[in-house]
Amino acid sequence: MSHFTVLVIGNNPEQALAPYHEFECTGIDDRYIREMDITEEVRGDVKEQGSVEESVIYNLGDDSIVSDESEVDLADQHKFGYAIIRNGELIKAVRRTNPNAKWDWYCLGGRWDGFFLHKNGMLTNSLRKGDIDLAGMLSDKAIEAKRDYEKFAVAVSGHEFPRTWTSVRTEIKDIDKAREFYKSQPAIKSIKEAGINLLFECAVEHYGDDEQAYVIRQVNCVLSPYAIIHEGNWIAKGEMGWFGLSEDEVTQDQWNEKVSELISKLQDETMLSLYDCHI
């Protein structure tokens, strides 16, 4: 479960987000919902679950069993799916879902409130492309990145520069021993004591050993979200086929470059909105 940024291009951002809602969370029964036949999947779980009925409950929840399709109530009881069981035999099992689901909640700005700097000096989450003070955003990001790196540099100073988590895992295959070695590094302990917490990312890999390179990386990411919705397409770094690049070849630099290229080609009147999404 995580929060991520989505840049929506166009005048109707919430309409653009709609095709990607997770039905099981939103409960919005619209044209994006599909009935997926999971009959074989349910049958495959019968042995483990002990019975056809228990397998249905495991896959679709309580009160999902009917004996005839005429009993199916899509507006209420069987909104998310149903299974037809007749004379102890599973006839059909259906899960109702949105196969294109990307989010279960969103908010304009949210954790990234004030993402854009307007040319009038105000911070905002939605504006015309021509109103973005890009130079100001780049300058602010450079200042922020330099400040963050200096905090990291102070934390590791006086210690041997620490090894990254990736390098430790490459050498030490046992994950518990790898964690023990990684956390035992004096610089890593100092980083933790300094309150530098990047959750699931290794701070050493994030900051690196070159302040200027780090600042440049951060500046290049200033307009790069996790994903973009443009002309009905959901575009994310891990789904770069839309940009003509294979998924396993994409680097963060390539993603930044393609995002900048896309935005640069937009008309100045084009609306840009930054959403905090969750899945």
142 with 239, same domain: the answer is yes
88 with 107, same domain: the answer is no
| Average pLDDT of the chain, as a whole number | 94
Quick one: pLDDT at residue 241? 54
87 with 138, same domain: the answer is no
125 with 263, same domain: the answer is yes
List, for residues 71-90, the tens digit of each pLDDT value: 999 999 999 999 999 999 99
153 with 93, same domain: the answer is no
- Indicate the range of 63-67, 208-212, 246-250, 263-267 predicted with least confidence: 246-250
- The owner of tokens 């900048």 is 260
DSSP three-state, residue 216: helix
Helix (H) or strand (E) holding 205: helix 203-207
267 with 222, same domain: the answer is yes
Contacting residues for 255 by C-beta, under 8 A, at least 6 apart:
224, 237, 240
70 with 86, same domain: the answer is yes
Residue 189 has pLDDT above 90, yes or no: yes
Rounded Cα distance between 108 and 126, Å, is 8
Contacting residues for 160 by C-beta, under 8 A, at least 6 apart:
185, 186, 187
DSSP three-state, residue 197: coil
**How many percent of the chain have pLDDT more than 90?**
90
223 with 250, same domain: the answer is yes
Average pLDDT over residues 152-166: 97
Quick one: pLDDT at residue 244? 56
Quick one: pLDDT at residue 19? 98
Total domains in the chain come to 3
Q: How confident is the model at residue 192 (pLDDT cuts 50, 70, 90)?
A: very high
145 with 277, same domain: the answer is yes
Residue 182 has pLDDT above 60, yes or no: yes
The edge-to-edge listing of strands for the beta sheet with 65-66 is 34-37, 89-97, 81-86, 65-66
List, for residues 1-34, the tens digit of each pLDDT value: 689 999 999 999 999 999 999 999 999 999 999 9
Domain boundary among 53, 76, 97: 97
Helix (H) or strand (E) holding 9: strand 3-9
List, for residues 238-253, the tens digit of each pLDDT value: 764 555 554 556 788 8
69 with 169, same domain: the answer is no
Q: What is the pTM assigned to this prediction?
A: 0.83
Identify the bridge partners of residue 194 per DSSP, sorted by sequence position. none
List, for residues 145-155, the tens digit of each pLDDT value: 999 999 999 99
Domain of residue 273: give its range.
Answer: 1-26+101-158+209-279
List, for residues 88-98, the tens digit of each pLDDT value: 999 999 999 99
93 with 124, same domain: the answer is no
Average pLDDT over residues 192-211: 94
Report whether 110 contacts 226 (CB < 8 A).
no
Quick one: pLDDT at residue 82? 97
217 with 125, same domain: the answer is yes
Domain boundary among 187, 202, 217: 202
Identify the bridge partners of residue 94 per DSSP, sorted by sequence position. 37, 82
Domain boundary among 97, 117, 150: 97
